[in-house]
């Protein structure tokens, strides 16, 4: 709902990041249509469509068909897993009147039971979102409706990362995310899950790409994630802050700052290129004491693969 920050909306974000080679993942809950957002984007600029699967699967299938017709811009489907229901967003609930008057995207409108009043923007947008996704059925359903690669967003355990790797090459990447910390209170940050994967199933990194979303506020945060094996990081709030402050130019300035901080950090580490970054550049011991420390709970002898759970 980027137009809550600035009239330029998601298209303003697309314009602001265009000169940085950054890709944009557009939410199913965007305040503009996908056609409007990609209009005027640069040749080769990459977008992904973030799908919130609806209880009425026909609505999601219609949206997938729409995205399938724009594969010159949309290169993957990002399946949202970290928000099957709306979380308890107390700050959001204080602005119930805003949520009640907010226009809901047609892609998430439901002809079924009446959408409840109150609860803020989040509760309004999550109404109609399916909470019954499974490894067995959902990826098979997606394969019937799109040939685009799948990126799974919202993994918060090493077990799920390991399972996701069994579904390569349909699943090309996973995004470690706790939905910005707004879905489940005290859920682990993405960097904890990243460290879990390194500890219990590092082979995941060779099967698919691991992206990190959440807590990326400075260039040093970008470098830390890359040092720990992430291939990309997601920036949400920072882009919206830039958009709210100055539209597309504000987004551009935000990314200029992030790019400059990242380059400065790498120079001071003596790393000339991203491929040179590694665990030798970071001390994660203070964080490792807070990550899961039980049994790996992984059957690496083939049971999960055979069951295709």
User: Can you state the percent helix, strand and coil of the chain, rounding each to 5?
Assistant: 45, 10, 40
Q: Are the C-beta atoms of residues 130 and 61 closer than 8 Å to each other?
A: no
Taking the C-alpha atoms of 84, 119, 90 and 121 in order, what is their torsion angle to the nearest 10 degrees?
70
Strand order in the sheet with 171-176: 24-27, 47-51, 74-80, 150-155, 171-176, 209-213, 232-234
Radius of gyration of the chain (CA): 19
Q: What is the pLDDT of residues 220-265, one digit of tens each?
A: 999 999 999 999 999 999 999 999 999 999 999 999 999 999 999 9
SS3 98: helix
Q: Is 145 annotated as a binding residue?
A: no
Q: Is 45 annotated as a binding residue?
A: no
Tens of pLDDT, residue by residue, the chain (309 residues): 899 999 999 999 999 999 999 999 999 989 999 999 999 999 999 999 999 999 999 999 999 999 999 999 999 999 999 887 777 777 777 765 544 455 555 555 555 555 555 555 655 566 678 889 999 899 999 999 999 999 999 999 999 999 999 999 999 999 999 988 878 888 899 999 999 999 999 999 999 999 999 999 999 999 999 999 999 999 999 999 999 999 999 999 999 999 999 999 999 999 999 999 999 999 999 999 999 998 888 876 564 555 454
Report the relative pairing of strands 47-51 and 150-155 from DSSP bridges: unpaired
Q: Is residue 226 part of a domain?
A: yes
Q: What is the CATH number of the domain that holds 151?
A: 3.20.20.70
Q: Is residue 65 part of a domain?
A: yes
Q: CA 273 to CA 283: how far, in whole Å?
A: 20
Q: Is residue 101 part of a domain?
A: no
Q: Is residue 102 part of a domain?
A: no
SS3 284: coil
Query: Could you tell me where the beta strands, DSSP code E, fall in 177-277?
Result: 209-213, 232-234
User: How many CB atoms are closer than 10 A to CB 178?
Assistant: 25
Q: Is 27 annotated as a binding residue?
A: yes
Q: What is the pLDDT of residues 98-126, one digit of tens each?
A: 444 555 555 555 555 555 555 556 555 66
Q: Which of 18, 26, 222, 176 is nearest to 107 (CA)?
A: 26
Q: CA 232 to CA 226: how far, in whole Å?
A: 7
Q: Is residue 205 part of a domain?
A: yes
Which residues make Cβ contacts (< 8 Å) with residue 301, sequence separation at least 6? none
DSSP string, 19-35: GGT--EEEETT-SS-HH
Q: Which of 85, 129, 84 is nearest to 107 (CA)?
A: 129
pTM of the entire predicted model? 0.87
Q: Is residue 120 part of a domain?
A: no
Q: Is 237 annotated as a binding residue?
A: yes
Q: Is residue 8 part of a domain?
A: yes
> What's the sign of the alpha-carbon dihedral 123, 26, 140, 58?
positive
Both structure tokens of 26: 């557009």
Q: Which residue matches tokens 């008057």? A: 101
Cis peptide before 169 (omega within 30 of 0): yes
Q: How many domains does the chain have?
A: 1
State which residues form the domain around 17: 2-85+129-307
Q: Is residue 116 part of a domain?
A: no
Q: Is 52 annotated as a binding residue?
A: yes
Q: Is 236 annotated as a binding residue?
A: yes
Which residues are known catalytic residues? 179
């Amino acid at each position: 709902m980027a137009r809550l920050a600035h009239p330029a909306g998601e298209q303003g974000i697309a314009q602001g990041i265009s000169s940085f080679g950054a890709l944009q993942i557009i939410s199913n809950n965007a305040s503009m249509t996908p056609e409007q957002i990609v209009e005027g984007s640069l040749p080769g600029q990459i977008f992904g469509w973030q799908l919130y699967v609806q209880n009425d699967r026909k609505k999601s299938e219609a949206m997938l068909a729409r995205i399938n017709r724009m594969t010159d811009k949309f290169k993957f489907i990002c399946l949202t897993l970290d928000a099957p229901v709306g979380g308890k967003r107390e700050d959001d609930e204080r602005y119930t009147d805003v949520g009640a008057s907010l226009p809901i995207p047609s892609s998430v409108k439901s002809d079924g039971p009446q959408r409840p009043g109150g609860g803020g923007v989040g509760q309004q947008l999550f109404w109609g979102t399916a909470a019954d996704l499974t490894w067995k059925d959902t990826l098979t359903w997606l394969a019937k409706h799109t040939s685009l690669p799948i990126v799974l967003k919202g993994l918060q355990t090493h077990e799920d990362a390991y399972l996701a790797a069994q579904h390569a090459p349909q699943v090309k990447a996973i995004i470690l995310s706790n939905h910005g910390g707004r879905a489940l209170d005290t859920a682990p940050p993405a960097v904890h899950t990243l460290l879990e994967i390194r500890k219990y199933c590092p082979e995941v990194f060779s099967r698919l790409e691991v992206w990190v979303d959440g807590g990326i506020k400075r260039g040093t945060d970008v470098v830390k994630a890359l040092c720990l094996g992430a291939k990309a990081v997601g920036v949400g709030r920072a882009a919206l802050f830039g958009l709210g402050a100055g539209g597309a130019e504000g987004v551009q300035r935000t990314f200029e700052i992030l790019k400059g901080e990242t380059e400065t950090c790498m120079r001071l580490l003596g790393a000339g290129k991203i491929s040179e970054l590694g665990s030798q550049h970071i001390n994660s011991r203070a964080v490792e004491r807070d990550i899961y420390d039980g049994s790996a709970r992984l059957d690496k002898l083939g049971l999960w693969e055979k069951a295709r759970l």
